[in-house]
Amino acid sequence: MASLDDVAREAGVSASTVSRAMSRPSMVAESTLVRVRAAAERLGFRVNPAARALTTGRSGFFALLVPDLDNPFYAATATAAQDLAGESGRRVIIAVTGGDPDREAEALSELESQVDGFAVQSPVSSAADLQEVHRRKPVVAINRRVPGLTSFTVDTPGGLGTVYDRLVELGHREVAYLAGPPSSWMDRHRRAELVEHAARYQLRVRVFGPVRPAFAEGAATAREIADSGCTAVLVYNSLLLLGVMFEFGRLGVRVPADISVAAADDIALADLPGPPITAVRTPADELGRAAVSALTEMVDGEPGHRPRGRRLPTTVRITDSLAPPRTA
Amino acid sequence: MASLDDVAREAGVSASTVSRAMSRPSMVAESTLVRVRAAAERLGFRVNPAARALTTGRSGFFALLVPDLDNPFYAATATAAQDLAGESGRRVIIAVTGGDPDREAEALSELESQVDGFAVQSPVSSAADLQEVHRRKPVVAINRRVPGLTSFTVDTPGGLGTVYDRLVELGHREVAYLAGPPSSWMDRHRRAELVEHAARYQLRVRVFGPVRPAFAEGAATAREIADSGCTAVLVYNSLLLLGVMFEFGRLGVRVPADISVAAADDIALADLPGPPITAVRTPADELGRAAVSALTEMVDGEPGHRPRGRRLPTTVRITDSLAPPRTA
DNA sequence: TTGAAAGCGCTAACAG
DNA sequence: CTGTTAGCGCTTTCAA
């Protein structure tokens, strides 16, 4: 593998000149630039990022910590993050934590010296620990608000509220909520929001689960929900929803005739057959991009600068999967 | 961030001793070891992998190139690869290529200097290109046999053959195959196998698709399959299968009474409600581990050594989702 | 606009 | 078993 020196020799200039030609072309005379580039091309030269990292202290890597990769929501975030990072010549190292605080902490400390910043999807570490890391490397939180850190969350509660309003309007009085994993910060928030609404409208919310957000779990809970007397069901995510719908189909439970259905995100639902399902669309990809863009800003910008976090709005698609309750 | 020198000073030894204490403890006297470790601990020292990489030429990274992360099959491979790599203190950098030859080539060349080896999931580059890279860094192919490279594939055709035999035995004569993406090497092989069987048993195989391996695509094709007169259907993967089953449920098509069903891998099917589906289980995680283990072997072992690739066996689970054809 | 020189943090002979 | 001495490949003052 050709090194800077090789190129320098080939082009008849010094290594520093080659270095400048590669990273700050404007500092080099046009004619030399051409010569250097030709030489580099000839030798198939590519800068060695590890060596560069050693001098600059920047590796060109961001780390993205995700609970797991099977969840399409996280997969989407990761993909979007990679894409955006790629635009500024950076890479995203994905570390799977299993939602385990220990593994998350380990990944943070192990990667600290190798990356320029962290994006932590649904972090489970304590705010203090995250802030501690942040003192040395930029940390951005996704899907959970962490004091002192730039955080990007999704206004799912707001979106669900819209759905809820609609349900009330249609005359529903007893609604099921199929809850996601208890470790999920989002889920806790969603539940809080639901309870609040319930109080306001004097509705009853029955919580099912919590369950792992998996197809099979949704299917397994579907009958229970159908038999519960609830006239509508809100589902934590669309993986679960798929499972629920699957089982409803098998059981002959009809949507929305027998029960109204809505989901909290609509990944993979885009072109489901049959009537579209009311969904609160979570911008998973935007979360990934927002995080990377904030990290980029911190790394490239003023030392102390901390970009503002945001709560990304959801898009609510109200469809005919919501109808008046059967007995209403 | 404390460096080797800092620790050396703190412990009253030379930097080399600290270096040895960290990477080859057996070369250091017990008493010094203790002292060095204490010093390191006190200073919160962690070796800087970039610096180490610069001297050793090893980054401790493997790259895993995957077509996409939404596909649970790839996600499973990636997760398993990460886990195994972690056991030897390495990390796996996941690069999403979108199944695009250009992006795959770019990832290969861009990462070449940053990783110790590549595992390429379902590579789309030419064998020549892959071999070219392999001359400089170990490359392992997953899910496609590439001459000159250690390759790990899955004996899905064999597994499907078993299913096929059973279908024949049950009296089926007309079988549908819902095909995966045409770019898939595996899919082409599976199809070849099916055709071969068909010839042997004088059966008819109707190919539906090819389609993207997504839930919605499966659902969208289900009716067509149900109406086709085929008495059994083999599905390219379980994501598609889920979609097919979903739609069958909605259409009132019963399995196996109306149609027999089998799938080519059973990710996410583990605890589906209802009768279990006949499936050819693809050991996605084993593929990831095999690849990493081969890479590890190449990196740690003799320079020229190339581990043998394998065709991993599938596990076929024959269930009651297969029954005699309706009209038989 | 360019070159010389120093050094980032670590490892690897080579002596001792 | 431990210290000394060179770099690994790059960037970055500082001078020219």
The pLDDT of residue B326 is 82
Average pLDDT, chain A: 89
Overall average pLDDT of the A268-275 stretch: 62
Count of Cβ atoms closer than 10 Å to residue B263 Cβ: 30
Check: CB of residue B180 under 8 Å from CB of residue B187: yes
Instruction: State yes or no: pLDDT of B328 exceeds 50.
Output: no
Q: How confident is the model at residue A328 (pLDDT cuts 50, 70, 90)?
A: very low
Which residues 53-72 of A interface with strand D at a CB distance below 7 A?
Answer: 54-56
**Distances A172 to A156, A193, A202, B142 between C-alpha atoms, Å:** 21, 17, 11, 52
The pLDDT of residue A28 is 92
Q: Does A268 contact B78 at a Cβ distance shorter than 8 Å?
A: no
Question: Within 7 Å: CB of B238 and strand D?
Answer: no
CATH of A156-282, one of 1.10.150.120, 3.40.50.300, 3.40.720.10, 3.40.50.2300: 3.40.50.2300
Could you check whether B56-153+284-312 and B156-282 share the same CATH topology?
A: yes
The pLDDT of residue A51 is 93
Instruction: State yes or no: pLDDT of B103 exceeds 70.
Output: yes
Q: How confident is the model at residue A32 (pLDDT cuts 50, 70, 90)?
A: very high
Instruction: Give the residue, B38 or A184, on which the prediction is more confident.
Output: B38
Question: Within 7 Å: CB of A242 and strand D?
Answer: no
Instruction: State yes or no: pLDDT of B224 exceeds 90.
Output: yes
Q: Does B136 contact A1 at a Cβ distance shorter than 8 Å?
A: yes
Q: Give how far B252 is from chain A: nearest CA, Å.
A: 8
Q: How confident is the model at residue B272 (pLDDT cuts 50, 70, 90)?
A: low
The pLDDT of residue B274 is 67
What's the whole-model pTM score?
0.89
Nearest Cα to Cα of residue A19 among A10, A57, A60, A28: A28
Q: Does A268 contact B214 at a Cβ distance shorter than 8 Å?
A: yes
Overall average pLDDT of the A56-62 stretch: 93
Nearest Cα to Cα of residue A230 among A193, A199, A264, A205: A205
Give chain B positions within 8 Å (CB) of A271. 216, 220
Give chain A positions within 8 Å (CB) of B269. 216
Question: Within 7 Å: CB of B16 and strand D?
Answer: yes
- Which H/E stretch holds residue A316? strand A315-317
Q: Which of residues 73-132 of B touch A (CB under 8 A)?
A: 75-76, 78-79, 82, 91, 93-96, 109-114
Question: What fold, for B56-153+284-312?
Answer: Rossmann fold (3.40.50)
The pLDDT of residue A184 is 66
Instruction: State yes or no: pLDDT of A156 exceeds 90.
Output: no
Instruction: Give the residue, A28 or A249, on which the prediction is more confident.
Output: A28
Instruction: Give the residue, A38 or B191, on which the prediction is more confident.
Output: A38
Instruction: State yes or no: pLDDT of B173 exceeds 50.
Output: yes
Instruction: State yes or no: pLDDT of B82 exceeds 60.
Output: yes
- Could you give the angle at which helices A15-23 and A4-11 cross, rounded to 10 degrees? 110
Instruction: Determine the Cα–Cα distance for residues A29 and A24; give it in Å rounded to an integer.
Output: 11
Instruction: State yes or no: pLDDT of A211 exceeds 90.
Output: no
Instruction: Give the residue, B161 or B7, on which the prediction is more confident.
Output: B7
Residue B216 has its nearest CB partner, among A46, A215, A272, at A272
**Distances B154 to B122, B157, B284 between C-alpha atoms, Å:** 11, 8, 9
The ranges assigned to domains in chain A are 4-46, 56-153+284-312, 156-282
Tell me whether the omega of the peptide bond preceding residue A210 falls within 30 degrees of 0, making it cis: yes
Question: Within 7 Å: CB of B53 and strand C?
Answer: no
Q: Which of B4-8, B155-159, B292-296 is predicted with the least confidence, judged by mean pLDDT?
A: B155-159
Instruction: State yes or no: pLDDT of B269 exceeds 60.
Output: no
Give chain A positions within 8 Å (CB) of B268. 214-216
Q: Does B96 contact A79 at a Cβ distance shorter than 8 Å?
A: yes
Overall average pLDDT of the B301-322 stretch: 90
In the block, tokens 């496609």 appear at: B144
Instruction: Determine the Cα–Cα distance for residues A103 and A124; give it in Å rounded to an integer.
Output: 10
Check: CB of residue A208 under 8 Å from CB of residue A177: yes
Q: Give how far A203 is from chain B: nearest CA, Å.
A: 31
Structure tokens belonging to residue B119: 């595992």
Instruction: State yes or no: pLDDT of B59 exceeds 70.
Output: yes
Q: How confident is the model at residue B195 (pLDDT cuts 50, 70, 90)?
A: confident
